[in-house]
Copies of this chain bind each other. A is one copy, B any other.
Amino acid sequence: MTGITRLPHPEPTDVALTDVLFALSDPARLEIVRELAAGPLTMAECGVTNPDLPKSTKSHLMKVLREAGIVRNEPDGRRRLVSLRKDELDAVFPGLLDSVLAAD
């Protein structure tokens, strides 16, 4: 059986700007987004700056980013590939992600 657990991913057009801003307003979440700007990562790979962060906590942080339409999380074998939905986000909120990532 294809018990593939695909997580819900809202269309960025359905996400409120305030939800995006809120998701980015947490240092740990913002750091994850910065890491993902260089390319997709598995869950285990990202969060390098917080090495001993419990996996349940990291999963929750990722859930907020995913539900804000910022990140895509798709199964890949027994891991999960996380990637930034940059193009889709740019289409709805032009320049937002760039200005956030540009800040030191």
Contacts and interface: CB of A to CB of B under 8 A. Distances in A.
Chain A's interface: helix, strand, loop or mixed, by majority?
A: helix
Interface stretch (A20-28, A35-43, A52-60, A77-85): A20-28
Given A94-B102, A98-B95, A24 B21 contact: yes
Contact of A26 (B18, B26, B27, B100): B18
Interface in A53-83: none
A92 B19 CA distance: 23
Contacts of A21: 21-22, 24-25, 30, 100
Contacts of A26: 18
A27 B17 CA distance: 9
